[in-house]
Amino acid sequence: MNTGAFWIYLLVMFAVTYLIRVLPFAAFHKKIENKFMRSFLAYIPYTVLGAMTFPAVFYAAGSFAASAAGVATALAAAYRGKGLFTVAVFASLAALLTGMILQVVG
């Protein structure tokens, strides 16, 4: 990824997360009582960030198979309730080992 694209992605992510958090303050003067709306506004930034980031992880390791192994490992570790650091380490190790195996085999 070139530097220009990185800054564009970063600015878009910043704008989306900032606007989602600031818009309710500008639009509503009283506290939002609706549980659904509060939950919706709380999770939107994470959803948008995930939607923008997820496709890029399949190209991060240089090999689709290695990246897919890392994603599968991350999903399995996260499903088991592991912390963010543990998930990242397991996913990185899975992608690294898969990439090394693919270099030896291929």
- What would the pLDDT profile of 14-70 be if each residue is shown by its tens digit? 998 888 778 777 777 777 788 998 888 788 888 888 888 888 888 888 889 999 999
Q: What is the pLDDT of residue 1?
A: 65
Within 10 Å of residue 45's Cβ, how many Cβ atoms? 16
- Give yes or no for a contact between 44 and 20, defined as CB atoms under 8 angstroms apart: yes
The pTM (predicted TM-score) of the whole model is 0.59
CA distances from 29 to 17, 25, 33 (A): 20, 7, 12
Helix (H) or strand (E) holding 63: none
Residue 62: both structure tokens together: 């240089």
Contact 41, 24 (CB under 8 A): yes
Per-residue pLDDT tens digits for 66-93: 999 999 999 999 999 999 999 999 999 9
